[in-house]
Amino acid sequence: MPQYWRTTLLSPIGQLHLLANQNSLLMLAFEQNLEPLLARILQPGCQTIDGLNNVLRAADVQLDEYFAGERKHFTLPISMRGTDFQNAVWNSLLKIPYGTTWSYSDQAHELKRPNAIRAVGTANGLNPLCIVVPCHRVVAKSGDLSGYAGGKTAKVWLLKMEKSQSFERISKINSLLNGPKL
């Protein structure tokens, strides 16, 4: 019988629900899309344990570091269950650099499917691992912040936090390169 561990973490953008098996993180979700994701991921007859296993402990630490602006990339073992197209879309999200955004059109071109903009948006909406697989970094071509499972407020918060951290890092690098001003 498959075993899963689940927990809820508090974050600056609200409660985050996590689900893992013994080997990998399977879900990181907001309250709004929790039940549909659980229905897609959990197998009939499985055992679900409320609490932390090693994967969820690592996720807790890395998410704390991310929200503190100390982590730019996650190194968690993840497993995403979707169609081949969905998996390709989700994997392309991992290529979007911290502190930057792509449009849905950019993402469709990255996938060499330039006419699949709506399908890309739909697949992003089904992403089971928000934040870790950064669908919040995808915006409309116009720059509009549409379509995020955690809502527009959470998306704005994440993008602002990442941009401010990137700006601070660039400023520090420039200071080091230019040396002290006399």
Catalytic residue selected from 55, 131, 135, 154: 135
Count CA atoms closer than 13 A to 96's CA, side-chain side: 28
Q: Residues 6 or more apart from 33 whose CB is under 8 A from it?
A: 149
Question: Would residue 135 show up in a list of annotated catalytic residues for this protein?
Answer: yes
Q: Is 63 in contact with 16 (CB distance < 8 Å)?
A: yes
- The Cα–Cα gap between 49 and 5 comes to 5
Opening angle at CA 163, ends 31 and 111, nearest 5? 70
Contact 27, 81 (CB under 8 A): no
Query: Which residue, among 84, 94, 83, has the nearest Cα to 40 in the 3D structure?
Result: 83
Task: Enter the tokens of residue 175.
Answer: 């200071």
The residues that are catalytic are 135
